[in-house]
Amino acid sequence: MTQRLAMQGDLLDFTAAPALDDTTSPAVRYRPGHWLLIGDDGRVAGVQADAPGEAWPREQHPGRLILPGFIDTHVHSAQVDVLGAYGTALLDWLEQHTFPAESRMADAAHAATISALFLDGLLAAGTTAAMVFPTVHKVSVDALFGAAEQRGMRLIGGKVLMDRHAPDFLRDDVAQAERDCVDLITRWHGRGRIAYAVTPRFAPTSTEAQLAMAGALMAAAPGLYMQTHVAENTDEVRWVAQLFPQARSYLDVYRQFGLLGPRAMLAHGIWLDADDRALLAAHGAAIAHCPSSNLFLGSGLFDWAATRAAGVAVTMGTDVGGGCSLSMPRTLADAYKVQAMANRRVTAWALLHAATRGAAEALHLGHEIGSLEPGSQADIVVWDRAASPVEARRQSVARDLHDAVFAWLMLGDERHVVSTRVAGVERYRRGAYSSNTANDIC
Ligand code: GUN
Ligand code: ZN
């Protein structure tokens, strides 16, 4: 049950998309020492400079940042078990580490434990909404959605489709997969804050018949999302060219099967060409850029500027377990470094926008999440600006607002999260986190 609350702090959100390189962008809305009012309905009731009346319970966070919760647009719940796994690039990493871990999600109790752990990990990292791959198992989807519903989170996900080029214990078939999807869509899509995404893992693990089935599901229900991977790794791209010789490119496979559209979220997109980017733009499909994963797996360096210039929305994904952290600040810091390798610099504003309002708009959820606009769900995170004396010193000598926020972002992680609210309800408070230890979980 939400209770009205007035929170005071340094409010930061965006009114539009900042240019990638403008440190003084007018799209930044910074309101230091302001009051954010959360109504009894769990939505933002307003923002004001003056203290509200006595009817409002208060929580004051002087000097702390208050942001909309981050939106992770590409992450795998089951892959908490392969975080930081040594030694492989994408295709071997899938075989050696990821598929064995995902097989364990066939067990409903395990799926429930992992889903709860995963969502609590997101909340502790300041992420309140996510687009998630569970696994091929129907129980993994029920577990994920059930855990998200308990926490009131905005969550998009769906059963992973994979009917070839995977171990027996992870393969489905077209008819059973379709039945599972239809049942899951019927029970979950549009229930509270849950939405369903048709989820072919990537082109190599689905037959043409399965991709056609996925396309038919999309055509039958226009409100569904679609999520998959594309053009992440050069060996993968070559493999797709062999498997689908009739397609112009890897991305074109998805077009041929009716999987591109305004609710399609494609992870990575490192090895796309200009025609691919134009195709994405023409369909209104978005790219989930996953810099930490791209660095860790050695996949390559994403061209954010070219993708944006083509008119494609770029959002951010941690891609755990290819990425090593559920923390969006750590992911954004890696995004900055990936662009720096191409001698480009991306501002804190462009990075933060991509993980908040930009992601919300790409998902057609800008009315609900991603900003501090009145009427939005109060998915709100309070952040310390420093987690050590050294960081506090750095903040104290910041030259201007961008310098301070950029340094915070580059150094930031879970330690900086003070409180996470979902629809106004506090779901994480630093120091009050569950007593779970590694031993409890194993
Ligand atoms: N491509 C197909 N499956 C996966 C996955 O689980 N992680 C990543 N990073 N890429 C993939
Ligand atoms: Zn992924």
* CATH code of the domain containing 204: 3.20.20.140
**Is the residue at 361 inside a domain?**
no
* Same domain as 249, residue 174: yes
State how far the alpha carbon of 222 is from the alpha carbons of 189, 198, 215, 219, in Å.
12, 11, 11, 6
Ligand 1 in reach of 319 Cβ (< 6 A): yes
End of a domain among 279, 301, 326?
326
Centroid of ligand 1 to alpha carbon of 255 (angstroms): 20
Over residues 331-347, mean pLDDT: 98
Q: Is the pLDDT of residue 435 over 70?
A: no
Res 79: pLDDT: 98
Number of domains in the chain: 2
Q: What is the pLDDT of residues 150-170, one digit of tens each?
A: 999 999 999 999 999 999 999
pLDDT tens per residue across span 176-196: 999 999 999 999 999 999 999
Asked if residue 347 belongs to a domain, the reply is no
Among positive and negative, which fits the CA dihedral 146, 147, 148, 152?
positive
Using a 10 angstrom Cβ sphere, with 0-12 exposed, 13-18 middle and 19 or more buried, the burial of residue 401 is middle
Span 381-411, pLDDT tens digits = 999 999 999 999 999 999 999 999 999 999 9
Q: Residue 42 sits in a domain of what CATH number?
A: 2.30.40.10
Residue 432's pLDDT is 79
Pair of tokens at residue 154 = 């905005």
263 in a structural domain:
yes
HSE-CB at 154 with a 13 A cutoff on CA atoms is: 29
For the stretch 44-62, pLDDT in tens is 999 999 999 999 999 999 9
Do 87 and 120 have their domain in common?
A: yes
Share of the chain above pLDDT 90, in %: 97
Type and span of the H or E element at 261: none
What is the predicted pLDDT for the residue at 222? 83
Q: Which of 88, 98, 160, 266 to mutate to test the pocket of ligand 1 (most atoms within 8 A of CB)?
A: 98
Instruction: Give me the half-sphere count of Cα atoms (radius 13 Å) on the Cβ side of residue 107.
Output: 7
Going by pLDDT thresholds of 50, 70 and 90, the confidence category of residue 228 is: very high
Residues 256 and 167 in one domain: yes
Q: How far apart are CA 207 and CA 201, in angstroms?
A: 11
Degrees to nearest 5, angle at CA 104 with 172 and 114: 115
What residues contact residue 86 under an 8 Å CB cut-off, 6+ apart? none
Residue 375 belongs to a domain = no
State in Å, rounded, how far the first CA of the chain is from the last one.
32
User: What pTM was estimated for this model as a whole?
Assistant: 0.97
Please state the atom number of ligand 1 nearest to the C-alpha of residue 299: 9
Please determine, for residue 223, whether its predicted confidence score (pLDDT) is greater than 60.
yes
Mean of pLDDT values over 63-83: 98
Q: Taking all residues of the chain, what is their mean pLDDT, rounded to a whole number?
A: 97
**pLDDT at residue 433 is higher than 60:** no
Task: Please determine, for residue 324, whether its predicted confidence score (pLDDT) is greater than 50.
Answer: yes
Distance CA 384, CA 416 (A): 5
Same-domain check for residues 177 and 128: yes
The token pair that represents 59 in the structure block: 């929580």
What is the full DSSP assignment across 276-288?
A: HHHHHHHHT-EEE
CA 319 to centroid of ligand 2, rounded, Å: 5
Could you tell me if residue 227 is left (phi over 0), alpha (psi between -120 and 50 degrees) or otherwise beta? Answer: beta
**Would the pLDDT of 148 be above 50?**
yes
Q: Does residue 341 lie within any of the structural domains?
A: no
Residues in a beta bridge with 244: none
Instruction: Choose the final residue of a domain: 280, 306, 326.
Output: 326
Q: Where in the sequence is the domain holding 172, given as residue range(s)?
A: 70-326
Phi, psi of 36 (to 5 degrees): -100, 120
Question: pLDDT band at 1, cuts 50/70/90?
Answer: low
pLDDT tens sequence across 245-278: 999 999 999 999 999 999 999 999 999 999 999 9
Q: Give a yes or no: residue 408 inside a domain.
A: yes
Examine the domain organization and report whether 123 and 256 are in the same domain: yes
Task: Let me know if residue 357 belongs to a domain.
Answer: no
